[in-house]
Structure formats: C-alpha cells, structure tokens
C-alpha cells in the first residue's frame, strides 16, 4: 500500500484563482485590497519569502507595498510605521516579516498591528476570535492545513486528530481549527510521554515540530492521514542516506545543490499512511495562498461586506 499524495500545489492554485476572482469584483467596485509587507534589514531567507508574497499579490491583483526599514531601526521607529499603516485606508493587510533584528521588541510590534489588518492572525484578539468561533483572521499555515483536508474530502468531524507541536503560529491554531471542525484533538510536545503511542491513535496526524524526519512509521496508524507542516533542509550526506537512500530523483537534486528539503515526517511513512502531504509541494504553497485569501477577507470585513467564501469543490 502506498499513501495517496495530497497535492498542495494544485489546491493552492484553486484558492488563488478564487481569490483573483474576488479581487476583480472588489476592484471593479473601487475596493481593491492592499497588503503592506514590512521587511526590516537583510535576512536572505526573509527576502525570499517576501519576494514570493509580493509576486503572489501581483498574480491575483492585490495592491502590494514592500517597506524596508534599515537593520538599525528601533522599536519606536517601527511602531510609528505600523501606526501609519493602521491609519491608511487603502492598506487592508499588514504583514511584519519575522524575525526582527535583536534590538526590536517583536511582541510590541505585532501587538501594535490593528487586529482588523492582522493578516497573519497572530494578534491576541484574532487568537481569541478563533478560540471562541467568532469571525476573524486565522493564521495562514493552519488555515491551509484545513483547506487541504476539506478539499481532499477527508472527514474531520468525529475523527481523532493529533497535533505534534504547540507553537502559537501552527500547533495551537491548528488544534483550535480541528476542534472547531468537531475533531477530538490531542496536542503533543517535547514533554509528552510515549509520543509514538499517542500519535498512533490519530486518524489525522499533523506534524509541526521542526525536526527532520522525526515522525517514522511507528508513529502512524495504518491508513491515517498525515499532514507534514515541517520544512527542514538536509545538507549532510549520511543524513541524506538515512532518509532518501535509493531515491534517484532526490539524489540528483542533492548532488547538484548540496541540500534537499524534508518535512517532519520520514519518507517511509508513505508505506503506512492512507494519505500524506509531500514536502515540498504540500502545506507550503497553501501558506501564501491563504495570505492572499486573508487580505481579501480583511478588506471585505473592514468594509462590512460579506466574507469571501472558498468553493472547496
């Protein structure tokens, strides 16, 4: 048996098309949604992420602005910038790219973002809305996980779900979304006793711990749906052999680049799971698609018009 591969790239493309149609309608009504991305200093990984976000905005027709304060920016300077963006009516979404430089109080900056423009869904007010099932902005990656499950017609209500990882960005909101969809949810972390046994109970297993290939076949109940949120780089040849020995396509990539991507789930899980999200091409593409969706949603909610519905066909 080999797991059904859940194609995140295809699903992300569907969502982007739906978002582009919404943007067109809004723009024709004089309400083109706008996203401001704040990128402080020169972190190469952050620069790549931001480029991807700006490009996605262009593709779906969202107005975007990239603001690049210097590496030396102070907390006070960034607070003034956020205050200005909060006031600007043509900006519906504000995204502060993390990590921020050491001298900046990141928590203060994120708290300063108007919750109605918090397209990352990190503001305590949006976290509260999510936990009490009120309409708000939901973190992009966990929202993407739910879209993969729903669009792949995977039943959630009444299922046992296990989330490995308790971060504020993925683990906790993913658990909350699954609870809201009527799953029975267990959240695991580094202090969980007998982690493999707890994971084996899962009908839906969400891996979000940030450790390469940690979830092996002993963690997975045969036929379970496994969602791999991890994104880790393998650069060591012996580690590569442990995960990908005999995979000619991966070997070629590794030889050319000196690295390859792996999630938190070991490739051998494909032999046990019923369905699995690949890395790359699984949850990753959904994160930016849901950011586009959140920007449109923020624009509509701020103007009191209906929240955009995703078709999930």
Q: Are residues 187 and 111 in the same domain?
A: no
pLDDT 10s digits, 151-205? 999 999 999 999 999 999 999 999 999 999 999 999 999 899 999 999 999 999 9
Residue at 123 is within a domain: no
Q: Are residues 182 and 278 in the same domain?
A: yes
- Domain extent, residue 60, equals 29-115
Q: Are residues 94 and 175 in the same domain?
A: no
Residue at 100 is within a domain: yes
pLDDT-based confidence at residue 313 (cuts at 50, 70, 90)? very low
Q: Are residues 33 and 100 in the same domain?
A: yes
pLDDT 10s digits, 266-309? 999 999 999 999 999 999 999 999 999 999 999 999 988 766 66
**40-48 CB contacts, 8 Å cutoff, 24+ apart:** 40/68, 40/69, 40/70, 40/71, 40/73, 40/78, 40/97, 40/100, 40/101, 40/104, 41/69, 41/70, 41/71, 41/73, 41/101, 42/71, 43/97, 43/99, 46/97, 46/98, 46/99
In the set 120, 203, 228, 264, the catalytic residue is 120
**How much is the pLDDT for 303?**
87
Q: Are residues 174 and 241 in the same domain?
A: yes
CATH number of the domain at 93, please.
3.40.50.10860
In the set 92, 97, 221, 297, the catalytic residue is 97
Residue at 125 is within a domain: no
In the set 53, 172, 221, 300, the catalytic residue is 53
- Is 53 an active-site residue? yes
Alpha-carbon distance of 131 to 125, in angstroms, equals 10
Residue at 312 is within a domain: no
Say how many CA atoms lie within 13 Å of 89 toward its Cβ. 3
Q: Are residues 172 and 102 in the same domain?
A: no
Residue at 66 is within a domain: yes
- Is 159 an active-site residue? no
Q: How many structural domains compose the chain?
A: 2
Tell me the β-bridge partners of 228: 207
Dmax (CA) for the chain in angstroms is 57
Q: What is the mean pLDDT of residues 227-253?
A: 92
Q: Are residues 151 and 278 in the same domain?
A: yes
CATH number of the domain at 226, please.
3.40.50.720
Q: Are residues 101 and 198 in the same domain?
A: no
Q: What is the pTM of this model?
A: 0.93
- Is 133 an active-site residue? no
**How much is the pLDDT for 112?**
98
In sequence order, the 6+-apart residues with CB closer than 8 A to the CB of 14 are 151, 311
Q: Are residues 111 and 152 in the same domain?
A: no
Residue at 2 is within a domain: no
Q: Are residues 96 and 226 in the same domain?
A: no
């Amino acid at each position: 048996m080999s797991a059904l591969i859940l194609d995140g790239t295809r699903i992300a493309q569907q969502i982007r098309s739906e978002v582009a149609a919404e943007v067109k309608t809004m723009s024709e009504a004089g309400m083109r949604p706008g996203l401001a991305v704040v990128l402080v200093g020169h972190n190469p990984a952050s620069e790549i992420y931001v480029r991807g976000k700006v490009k996605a905005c262009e593709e779906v027709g969202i107005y975007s602005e990239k603001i690049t304060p210097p590496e030396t920016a102070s907390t006070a300077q960034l607070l003034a910038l956020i205050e200005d963006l909060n006031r600007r009516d043509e900006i519906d979404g504000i995204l502060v790219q993390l990590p921020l430089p050491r001298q900046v109080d990141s928590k203060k900056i994120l708290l300063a973002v108007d919750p109605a423009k918090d397209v990352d869904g990190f503001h305590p007010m949006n976290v509260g809305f999510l936990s009490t099932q009120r309409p708000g902005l939901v973190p992009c990656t966990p929202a993407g996980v739910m879209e993969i499950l729903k669009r792949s017609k995977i039943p959630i209500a009444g299922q046992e779900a296990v989330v490995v990882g308790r971060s504020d960005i993925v683990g906790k909101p993913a658990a909350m979304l699954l609870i809201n969809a009527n799953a029975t949810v267990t959240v695991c972390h580094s202090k969980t006793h007998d982690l493999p046994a707890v994971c084996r109970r899962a009908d839906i297993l969400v891996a979000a711990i940030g450790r390469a290939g940690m979830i092996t076949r002993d963690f997975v109940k045969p036929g379970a749906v496994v969602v791999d949120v991890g994104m880790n780089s393998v650069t060591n040849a012996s580690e590569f052999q442990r995960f990908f020995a005999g995979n000619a396509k991966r070997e070629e990539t590794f030889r050319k680049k000196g690295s390859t991507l792996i999630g938190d789930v070991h490739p051998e899980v494909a032999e046990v799971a019923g369905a699995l999200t690949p890395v790359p091409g699984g949850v990753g593409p959904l994160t930016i698609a849901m950011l586009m969706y959140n920007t449109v949603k923020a624009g509509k909610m701020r103007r009191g018009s209906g929240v955009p519905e995703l078709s999930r066909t």
